[in-house]
A and B are shown apart, each in its own frame.
Chain A
């Protein structure tokens, strides 16, 4: 897109967010390998442009739903990393008071519903938020992330159809990373793109390079504008790739080394840095500074998390039902 429409600060802000996403995931992996962090995790290294591009196009008051792979979504939505880190350490200072963990990251007050790990589970919730915005005449939109594994779920079709007939202010964002766990998308979908499905519901559908943060941002902004102005939902498909396996227990042997290497060449952060260096947006020393500042932020987050108290046994039943 024409980047000049965005201020320098805005573009660099997107860069730092992507770095924060990536380095957060790398740190979490390291903590996991050291046995300092409990539980299993689904990591999203490689999908930073998708998370950041979408979230940058959202406003205060908008609502985001997420998936079993929510870390980068939460970081990109702007939930402070110390609260996310504390959640992963199961500490009471975490965004879900330490009771949600990796697969339920989020904070509704900060515009992200704690993630739903059930495949496609966040999709109808986003439509529900959109319905409430429309009903209450709020100028907000709901956006929902889901993976390619969700697009053959019944709830996906039912929700988009309903959102379409009611012109609900929702942006459906499919992060197509080609694999639903170990199942390659081509083996379970006859059409070539997820966005092609949009025509069946009579809404716009678009496939976007999900590893280009500006492309993602522009497409989401357009879709959000449509939604905000009462024109109904849009189905976006962001083509991206996760560098890691489906989860910590997945070595990803079902993907060829060549395929992984080809996608690593399209690493959204490396691409950004390469373009930014050639256009003069960034210099090498500035990149080093950015990384150091993110590193420091993560150090603080880990220290905060490790020194935070665990939830008390008496709190076992709080946060269970809405009051």
Chain B
């Protein structure tokens, strides 16, 4: 007889555990209560015992893999050689009643394989344009919950998530799902500095005099400087997805732009690269498309780890932003203001702009954040 060994809910603050090592090999005899594998949760490393004796026939998770509670990790059979169905379906006998197939009302077409989801999750998935079949449910009997949909939405590869559902609250729901998922799963920390943008202001004025048809804003300068600083900050150019660290080389930036229907996230590849003129063309085009609410399909290669948001045009002095899913930091830019400083005994007026970097402390530390901001100041001075 086949027995499916699951990862039980270990009563921790997360429902996930990492497989540290297998203590048995396929084919080994295991006694009831004998440890099968070692798992690591957020609190402790512990053994997972077999609830039944028999023979370990199939390992369903490999070392290093992260498994969610109640998912199967192994198949044990009573005898060493019996054949068994390799399919490890979700546990049949559940502590909570199994999801009954939901009755479909209205004009729904007949689906060959009905997906079990709570109604709120169905509604949210519809708003976000997500096919429920692509989501694995965490509820009883793999029932898909709203949280599953939010998690899936936040893990979607493409950061361009401007949603056009034809319904007014579509983008709002998307924002709700993405920000709550982000703020609850990413340990944010914040570093604020006053950037001296006097040199950038002066440079921009000169540029605008000579390029009246392709004017530059200080925001354009800040985005370019941020990208240049990111290219020199490998410790910031990292992200964590599904428990894995990724080091990035390209210094892509995700622009958070205001659109008529809400916020739009627009990826821009390597803004610091190339001449300033084509760069301005690219950023203007991107922001224009975002403003008009046109969904820009991000190319798969552009997956920025740094986002930039600017509320300076509304007179906001400084603010802290939520890191968009897929990114590991976001730069929040405030308004430019005049400030008196004392230099060599002389009072001077400089242009200052407060920026706050929100960063993911799982992969970025305060020093990396501070050094990045230092490099940004350098690039603003040397435009």
Chain A interface (Cβ < 8 Å from any Cβ of B): 29-30, 32-40, 89-90, 245, 247-251, 253, 306, 310
Contacts and interface: CB of A to CB of B under 8 A. Distances in A.
B367 interface: no
Given A35-B91, A310-B97, A248 B51 contact: no
B182 to A, nearest CB: 27
Interface of B: 5-6, 8-12, 32, 41, 43-52, 69-70, 91, 93-97
Given A33-B49, A33-B51, A34-B51, A249 B10 contact: yes
A35 B52 CA distance: 13
B91 A249 contact: no
8 contacts: A33-B48, A35-B6, A248-B8, A249-B41, A249-B44, A251-B44, A251-B45, A310-B97
A253 B35 CA distance: 14
A38 B96 contact: yes
B44 A36 contact: no
A90 B93 CA distance: 15
A248 B10 contact: yes
Contacts of A30: 32, 51-52
Contact of B94 (A36, A247, A248): A36
A36 B43 CA distance: 23
Contacts of A247: 11
Contact of A36 (B10, B11, B46, B95): B95
Contacts of B41: 249
A306 B44 contact: no
Contacts of A253: 44-45
Nearest to B95: A38
A250 B8 contact: no
A123 B225 CA distance: 65
Contacts of A32: 8
Nearest to B96: A38
A310 B98 CA distance: 13
B97 A35 contact: no
B91 A34 contact: yes
A239 to B, nearest CB: 25
A302 to B, nearest CB: 10
B6 A34 contact: yes
A267 to B, nearest CB: 14
B44 A250 contact: yes
Contacts of B96: 38
Given A30-B51, A249-B43, A249-B44, A37 B95 contact: yes
A89 B95 contact: yes
Tell me which of B43, B46, B49 has the highest count of chain A C-beta atoms within 10 A of its own C-beta: B46
Tell me which of B41, B44, B50 has the highest count of chain A C-beta atoms within 10 A of its own C-beta: B44
B97 A36 contact: no
B95 A35 contact: yes
Contacts of B70: 35
A191 to B, nearest CB: 31
Contacts of A35: 6, 8-9, 69-70, 91, 94-95
A259 B54 CA distance: 29
Contact of B93 (A29, A34, A38, A248): A34
Nearest to B91: A35
Nearest to A251: B46
Nearest to B45: A251
Nearest to A182: B44
A249 B95 contact: no
Nearest to B43: A249
Tell me which of A30, A33, A40 has the highest count of chain B C-beta atoms within 10 A of its own C-beta: A33
Nearest to B72: A35
B47 A36 contact: no
Contacts of A310: 97
Contacts of A251: 44-47
